[in-house]
């Protein structure tokens, strides 16, 4: 009896030791607020809220002033099957508000695990402004030395083996681990801000963070699924867009997913789940135009809220008559086995009236990402999209323009409004041990539309402009981040300037407007310097994309006065 009692005591001790190593739910937040939007981000796999209230505001108001939201919360979903046929799943919705999560902050080690200390260290989002980077570059290029002071955001940046991390962040980074992207002036693979290295970002403001689904052995509190052992690097960014309506009302989100397990993940899907509340959450519609890889949320009638522009439940702020449309464009998705981008493979939805589908805690999210209802029934074209007698399977529900009565939409179905959630699925694809893939989204907002049943044509055109712009700064044939130094001087450009690289020679350089239009293209260079004349270029901001002869790409901004 005594030996049995000792056994149970040891068992409890070991259980407590294991529990003590589990990671805690993230708590740090940051605001992406460079243009007309203010977006709250969490240091994990849920975002666009403060863990209790909506956090995607357009247009942004001054701090401490009333804000009107278009999105209440968002979350990243990921799922696939291991070689034994077991489903591994991580999906985030509202759970972190009560302590239930499928994701925790921080990277994984080579064994695909982490611990509470690492998660605690990385309970952080790193925010940096282009102006801070430009000032740091100017400091170094003036005489090859840093006189300082160096912006704190650049000292803290978690580039590989940053020697400043202990003093700036309060902890040393995991040795040799590639984390946040940076420009490496001397090519030694180490982020050294005091040697002139700097964060390599997109946009005029960017926020980077890293999270995982292993959590030091913590339980997936949302799906109760098996851990994938995925490490996700996230980058949110935006452009000032002061003279550009499209960029002023668009924010960008990129997720790079690393498989840190020792097994492959097959039939894999990535999902972007959103609870879109356009002002009042009680009178919304959602839909998509699959050919444009775009989903959207809009109001069901001409007034946001009731006849007095009030929202009865929770008394949230409304847009009243000036109601926007929020659209989500899939800019890039993972490639399938044939090398085809599967970035927009399904669009599904749910609402409060449909229930929470708790009877399918694991397979429900996977079915939804793969273009079915949570019970596995395929979506069918027309009506409610749920017709077991129909063979017209169509994994994009409400796939049509609301202003066209011949298209399939909530408007043409004359459906009651509601509080809807949407899920954008990308897949299927495979992810081997140590492999990675990525997905990129743009969230766009457009005002001055005619309700009810507004046309999505302006959003389609806006999305095409954003896609063109994204393609120019993120060419698919080469890595985004260059490991060598490329500089343009003088900046601003008045009459003549010079683009130089101290690494591999330039091959092709494109000068791009903020609208994504190629203004100049220089081909077959084979040199380390390119002279650029201002000529007839109008004043404003431009981007350059320099393809180097080693296949890498460097990007930067040029101001023309």
Both tokens assigned to 255? 């997720």
Residues 6+ apart with CB under 8 A from 2: none
CB contact at 8 A, 418 and 472: no
Half-sphere exposure of 349 (CA within 13 A, CB side): 25
Burial 236-245 (b: 16+ CB within 10 A, else e): bbbbbbeebe
pLDDT of residue 482: 47
Both tokens assigned to 17? 């030791």
Tens digits of per-residue pLDDT, 320-339?
Answer: 999 999 999 999 999 998 88
Which residue ranges of the chain lie beneath pLDDT 50?
1-20, 353-360, 476-484
Cα gap 372→130, rounded to integer Å: 42
> What CATH number has the domain spanning 29-103+213-473?
2.70.98
pLDDT of residue 485: 64
Both tokens assigned to 228? 């994938």
pLDDT of residue 516: 60
Cα gap 151→199, rounded to integer Å: 12
Residues 6+ apart with CB under 8 A from 255: 76, 232, 233, 234, 270, 438, 439, 440
What residue ranges of the chain are covered by domains with CATH 2.60.40.1930?
486-560
Q: Is the dihedral of CA 80, 118, 39, 282 positive or negative?
A: positive
The gap between the terminal CA atoms of the chain, to the nearest Å, is 86
pLDDT of residue 272: 98
Which SS3 state, helix, strand or coil, does residue 133 take?
A: helix
Cα gap 151→153, rounded to integer Å: 5
Strand partners, 256: 233, 438
Using only the alpha carbons of the chain, give its radius of gyration: 24
Both tokens assigned to 329? 């464009």
pLDDT of residue 282: 92
Residues 6+ apart with CB under 8 A from 226: 82, 86, 87, 88, 89, 220
Pairing of strands 73-81, 46-47: antiparallel
Cα gap 223→95, rounded to integer Å: 10
pLDDT of residue 14: 36
Hunting for tokens 């681990």 — which residue is that?
A: 177
pLDDT of residue 208: 98
Phi and psi, residue 130, nearest 5°: -60, -35
What residue ranges of the chain are covered by domains with CATH 2.70.98?
29-103+213-473
Cα gap 170→297, rounded to integer Å: 42
Cα gap 304→317, rounded to integer Å: 9
Tens digits of per-residue pLDDT, 29-83?
Answer: 999 999 999 999 999 999 999 999 999 999 998 767 778 999 999 999 999 999 9
Q: Which CATH class is domain 486-560?
A: mainly beta
């Amino acid at each position: 009896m005594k030996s049995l009692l000792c056994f149970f005591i040891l068992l409890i001790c070991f259980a407590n030791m294991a529990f003590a190593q589990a990671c805690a739910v993230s708590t740090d937040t940051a605001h992406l607020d460079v243009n007309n939007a203010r977006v709250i981000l969490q240091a994990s796999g849920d975002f666009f809220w403060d863990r209790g209230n909506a956090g995607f505001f357009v247009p942004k108001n001054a701090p401490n002033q009333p804000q009107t939201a278009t999105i209440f919360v968002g979350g990243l979903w990921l799922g696939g099957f291991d070689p034994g046929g077991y489903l591994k799943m991580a999906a985030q919705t509202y759970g972190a508000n009560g302590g239930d999560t499928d994701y925790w902050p921080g990277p994984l080690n080579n064994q695909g695990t982490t611990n509470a200390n690492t998660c605690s260290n990385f309970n952080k989002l790193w925010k940096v402004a282009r102006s801070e980077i430009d000032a740091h570059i100017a400091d170094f290029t003036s005489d090859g030395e840093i006189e300082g002071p160096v912006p704190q955001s650049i000292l803290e940046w978690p580039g590989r083996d940053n020697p400043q991390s202990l003093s700036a962040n309060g902890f040393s980074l995991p040795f040799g681990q590639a984390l946040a992207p940076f420009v490496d002036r001397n090519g030694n693979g180490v982020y050294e801000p005091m040697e002139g290295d700097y964060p390599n970002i997109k946009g005029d403001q960017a926020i980077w963070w890293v999270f995982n689904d292993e959590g030091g052995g913590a339980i997936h509190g949302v799906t109760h699924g098996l851990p994938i052992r995925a490490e996700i690097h996230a980058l949110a960014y935006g452009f000032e867009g002061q003279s550009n309506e499209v960029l002023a009302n668009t924010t960008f989100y990129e997720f790079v997913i690393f498989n840190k397990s020792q097994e492959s993940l097959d039939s894999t899907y990535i999902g972007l789940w959103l609870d879109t509340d356009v002002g009042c959450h009680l009178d919304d519609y959602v839909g998509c135009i699959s050919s444009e890889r775009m989903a959207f949320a809009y109001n069901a009638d001409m007034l946001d809220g009731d006849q007095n522009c009030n929202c009865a439940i929770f008394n949230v702020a409304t847009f009243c008559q000036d109601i926007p449309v929020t659209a989500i464009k899939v800019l890039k998705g993972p490639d399938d086995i044939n090398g085809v981008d599967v970035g927009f493979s399904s669009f599904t939805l749910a609402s409060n009236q449909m229930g929470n589908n708790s009877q399918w805690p694991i397979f429900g999210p996977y079915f939804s990402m793969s273009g079915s209802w949570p019970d596995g029934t395929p979506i069918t074209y027309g009506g409610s999209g749920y017709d077991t007698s129909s063979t017209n399977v169509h994994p994009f529900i409400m796939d049509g323009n609301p202003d066209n009565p011949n298209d399939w939409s909530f408007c043409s179905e004359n459906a009651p409004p509601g509080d809807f959630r949407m899920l954008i699925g990308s897949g299927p694809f495979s992810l081997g041990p140590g492999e990675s893939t990525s997905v990129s989204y743009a969230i766009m907002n457009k005002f001055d539309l005619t309700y009810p049943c507004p046309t999505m044509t302006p959003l389609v055109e806006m999305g095409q402009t954003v896609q063109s712009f994204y393609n120019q700064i993120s060419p698919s044939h080469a890595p985004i981040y260059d490991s060598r130094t490329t500089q343009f001087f003088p900046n601003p450009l008045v009459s003549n300037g010079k683009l130089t690289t101290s690494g591999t020679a330039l091959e092709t350089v494109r000068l791009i407007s903020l609208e994504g239009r190629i203004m100049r293209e220089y081909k077959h260079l084979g040199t380390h310097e390119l002279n650029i004349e201002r000529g007839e270029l109008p004043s404003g901001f431009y981007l350059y994309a320099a393809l180097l002869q080693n296949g890498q790409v460097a990007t930067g901004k040029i101001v023309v006065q």
